């Protein structure tokens, strides 16, 4: 990966996500704030036709953008747009379609291609519909799994970043009945190490304090409600503590958030998706960001989905998408400082 060419103004790729969801709307609304152009050079991956459609729908026709004619030639102070397909794709706000999924995949593949070529310093992905995008070309359960494989990362960490907490997951898009079989010593330790490394390098926290949640109710109640805590989680925490790591737990998830203990830690590791994301979205939904830690590049996304029920109605809140751009920018700068030894 090439280092950022403009450390003070990173080149950020932004996909439109599913064309029939709120992705195009929140992207347009976020980029309509001219102050953003002072912070980043935005490059939208999708279609000028789609942008024009939603720009008109939302009454933001004064928003200007420039189509990229020469690969990698992105202009500052301008919303750059890379057309990822030539054919006309029907836009049906609020109605999922396979064409919408196909377009989302073309946008995603194009931004990844240009990141790998060093043309971008990081990227933000708008929400996709896992049902419409899924197929032979995308046999994954979500962005995280796809990006981990595509960037040939040994492993990654889905890390939810908010104003007041950061929550990582041991398992991501896994059904509840399958979660326990994924809770192994090796996996839990790897995720803790990824979380610690990200807190240090991406968020510049020199000695991060990490809380680990239990898998079972009451963190297993000393084996009465499950043995994963005693057999897997506690031994990993004890081993890491003996090596000087500030890792604590396992904590019962309900009491941990209910009593405000989460405020005492720099990072929290949850065992499964809803255990971590339900409290996170309750506490930090509007400004929450999904960051894929462990990749050789910086990728963030808003913490919400396609929201078909309000798509095309000019009701979507762009706060999370805007914050995803800010977080990506901050991490890019932090990584650059880290690599420069500062």
pLDDT in tens, 25-60: 999 999 998 889 999 999 999 999 999 999 999 999
Count of domains in the chain? Answer: 2
What whole-number percentage of the chain has pLDDT above 70? Answer: 97
Please, which pLDDT band fits residue 342 given cuts at 50, 70 and 90?
low
133 close to 23: Cβ distance less than 8 angstroms: no
8-33 pLDDT, tens digit each: 799 999 999 999 999 999 999 999 98
Calculate ∠ Cα 104-107-112, nearest 5°.
125
Alpha-carbon dihedral 267, 269, 272, 273, rounded to 10 degrees: 10
Alpha-carbon Rg for the chain, nearest whole angstrom, is 20
217-259 pLDDT, tens digit each: 998 888 888 999 999 999 999 999 999 999 999 999 999 998 9
Reply yes or no on whether the pLDDT at 6 is more than 90: no
The helix/strand/coil state of 251 is strand
Reply yes or no on whether the pLDDT at 1 is more than 80: no
- Note whether 194 and 288 are same-domain residues: yes
Residue that wins the pLDDT comparison between 309 and 136:
309
Residue-wise burial string across 165-179, b where 16 or more C-beta atoms lie within 10 A, e elsewhere: bbbbbbbbebeeeeb
What CATH number is associated with residue 308?
3.40.718.10
- Note whether 149 and 262 are same-domain residues: no
Tell me what pLDDT residue 7 has.
Answer: 55
Residue 114 tokens read as 């240009």
Tell me what pLDDT residue 2 has.
Answer: 43
* Residue 47: φ, ψ to 5°: -160, 135
- Note whether 244 and 315 are same-domain residues: no
- Note whether 182 and 225 are same-domain residues: yes
Mean pLDDT, the chain, whole residue set: 93
The helix/strand/coil state of 161 is strand
Angle, helix 319-339 to helix 23-31, in steps of 10 degrees: 70
- Note whether 200 and 217 are same-domain residues: yes
Domain span holding position 245: 156-294
């Amino acid at each position: 990966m090439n280092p950022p060419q403009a450390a003070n103004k990173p080149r950020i790729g932004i996909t439109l996500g599913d064309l029939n969801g709120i992705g195009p709307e929140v992207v347009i609304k976020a980029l309509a704030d001219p102050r953003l152009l002072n912070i980043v050079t935005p490059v939208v991956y999708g279609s000028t036709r789609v942008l024009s459609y939603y720009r008109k729908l939302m009454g933001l026709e004064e928003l200007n953008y420039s189509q990229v004619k020469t690969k990698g030639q992105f202009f500052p102070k301008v919303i750059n747009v890379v057309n990822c397909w030539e054919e006309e794709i029907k836009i049906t706000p609020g109605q999922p379609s396979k064409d919408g999924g196909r377009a989302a995949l073309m946008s995603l593949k194009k931004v990844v291609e240009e990141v790998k070529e060093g043309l971008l310093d990081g990227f933000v992905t708008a929400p996709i519909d896992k049902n419409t995008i899924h197929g032979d070309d995308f046999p994954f359960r979500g962005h995280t799994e796809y990006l981990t494989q595509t960037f040939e990362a040994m492993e990654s960490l889905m890390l939810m970043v908010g104003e007041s907490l950061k929550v990582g997951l041991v398992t991501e898009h896994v059904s509840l009945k399958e979660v326990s079989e994924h809770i192994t010593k090796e996996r839990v330790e790897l995720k803790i190490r990824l979380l610690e490394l990200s807190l240090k390098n991406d968020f510049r926290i020199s000695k991060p304090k990490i809380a680990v949640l239990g898998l079972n109710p009451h963190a297993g109640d000393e084996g009465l409600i499950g043995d994963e805590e005693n057999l897997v989680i506690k031994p990993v925490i004890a081993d890491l503590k003996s090596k000087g790591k500030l890792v604590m737990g396992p904590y019962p998830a309900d009491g941990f958030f209910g009593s405000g203990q989460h405020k005492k830690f720099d990072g929290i590791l949850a065992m499964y998706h809803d255990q971590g994301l339900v409290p996170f979205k309750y506490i930090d939904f509007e400004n929450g960001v999904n960051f894929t830690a462990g990749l050789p590049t910086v990728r963030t996304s808003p913490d919400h989905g396609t929201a078909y029920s309000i798509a095309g109605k000019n009701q979507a809140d762009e706060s999370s998408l805007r914050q995803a751009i800010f977080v990506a920018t901050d991490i890019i700068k932090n990584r650059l400082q880290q690599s420069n030894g500062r």
